[in-house]
Structure 1
Amino acid sequence: MATTVLSRRMALGGLASAAALAAAGARAQAKRLRIGVTLHPYYSFVANVVGDGAEIVPIVPAEANPHGYQPQPEDIKRAMTLDVLVVNGIGHDEWVFKIIEAAGRKDNLPLIWANASVALIPIGGDNGAEKVVNPHTFIATTAAIQQVYEIARRLGEIDPPSAARYRASARDYANRLRKLRADFMQRMPAHAKADFRCATMHAGYDYLFQELGLKITAVVEPRHGVNPTARQFAQTLADIRAANINILFAEKYFGESSLAETVQRETGVKVFTLSHITDGPFTPEKFEVEMAENLATIERAMQAVGP
């Protein structure tokens, strides 16, 4: 189902035409590519693939909240200058398609669909009848590596002379991301007896917990930034109590403290914060730094509950 959704999205949005790719490739020979990105992790992914061989252009300001973002005139101007654009394309940057259309680039801007080769999962904690794929593929090392390789492959098609360098850089970066997870997993046996049962404020961490072999028992928000109804919240509290959940992961960058404090007061859970990796400066190292922090936080939470 998830693959079908992405395929439909790519078909509707349209992959760049052969002419657009050829034009971008020609420009790459004449000057450095201007590669647009929609999210902070994609800046890190692209920067570690291309090095100083291209200019990376964030479409929106660093402090912008990507959830429900409203395009600004400056965003449109930036889109008009791009040679290629990296997108999430499955729900986390829907606003970028409005920007592309407003910039007159709908038919001539090559798009790199970062999730084209990622195995998608349904969004957790969704109380609606229709199940939607979880767009937070960038908050996990395994899915991140798949996206890095997809970005490198597609950039190599646009800029063939640099393709080998892009592939080599992608391998080096992927190895560093694998080491993040490997180091965490090596420490896991020390916490094997931890009485760890967790909930999250919203379903932004399903890919991360899945690759770590950990289970998220409950999700508080039905959608990011959308407070649950009184009935939904009461049911979530009941689920937390029934499952004896002892850890709640809130988010580092978004204003959820009031709701998280209510859950803590009502259920006695311990609250920790994880990074959504969607705020702060755009830097090549941001994804590695904040993913390492997330893994360290999860380990502290496991230590906090004990056996």
Structure 2
Amino acid sequence: MATRFKQYTDVSQFLSDSFQRGLAHWNKERLAPGLGQGDWQRTLERDHRMLRLEAAFLEELRSEICAEAAAVPTDPAAFLNWFEELKISGPGQNDDLFPWLAQHASPDQLKWFFEQEAAGEAGFDDLVAMTQVKLPVGPKLELARNYWDEMGRGNVRGMHGPMLIALSETLEVEPLIENTVWESLALANAMTAMASSRRLAWHSVGALGVVELTAPGRSAMVAQGLRRIGLSDRERRYFDLHAVLDVKHSEDWNREALLPAVVEDPRRATAIAEGALIRLRCGERCFERYRARLW
């Protein structure tokens, strides 16, 4: 695996440190709420240039998995079976990194891992909000329910984003783009690209759905590692919550968003599959880089 990874990054202009950092800085700036100030023409020209690069990056990711996605069944029931099987056999699943984090990683190693994950976090709530624009009623309602859970059902203490920030403070890490490996930035950049482009809306539905599908097991093992080094239930809450809540989120997402979407238009199965596979391949690169650094 390591050899294939090195060869691929050697020939890609997009899967590189400088490109992903530049894209991450642009995403941070363009998504920040503004006041209508500055040179809008210069900003528009910059955004046009960056959007072309972002699109080329996504097309390269799609080229990796398009043949596999094209073979995915478009019958709704068969597609859902394929999608749910990704939890077992999808790229990056059952990686040895996570049992090691649970059982052996030192406090400093767990801090480094969390710093990478937190800095590469694109904001699941915002990604869901961007993705749901103009979706059909059934999928739109499921994304709305998911978003409401992400927002703590209206209670700031239950919001997932602030839980992540609180854990960063507990671990005394400050997630920064400059300190983050490009693989983690690429994952966040790919998720942001799919969610912010209406052309790739169904890809984003697949990518977000596969996060809900695959996150619980990894979250549980990270929580185990944090417990082992002495973090309290309150301090571990972010990972403990996702180890449990995302199981139900995944079941609901698959039943209420994916299934009716493919029933209505079987062509969506391929787009959803591409998004899911892109997300998993990006995660697989992260895990490989993390192991190389931590081991």
Question: What TM-score, normalized by structure 2, do the two folds share?
Answer: 0.29
Higher radius of gyration, 1 or 2: 1
Q: Larger relative CO (CA 8 A, sep 6+): 1 or 2?
A: 2
Question: What TM-score, normalized by structure 1, do the two folds share?
Answer: 0.28
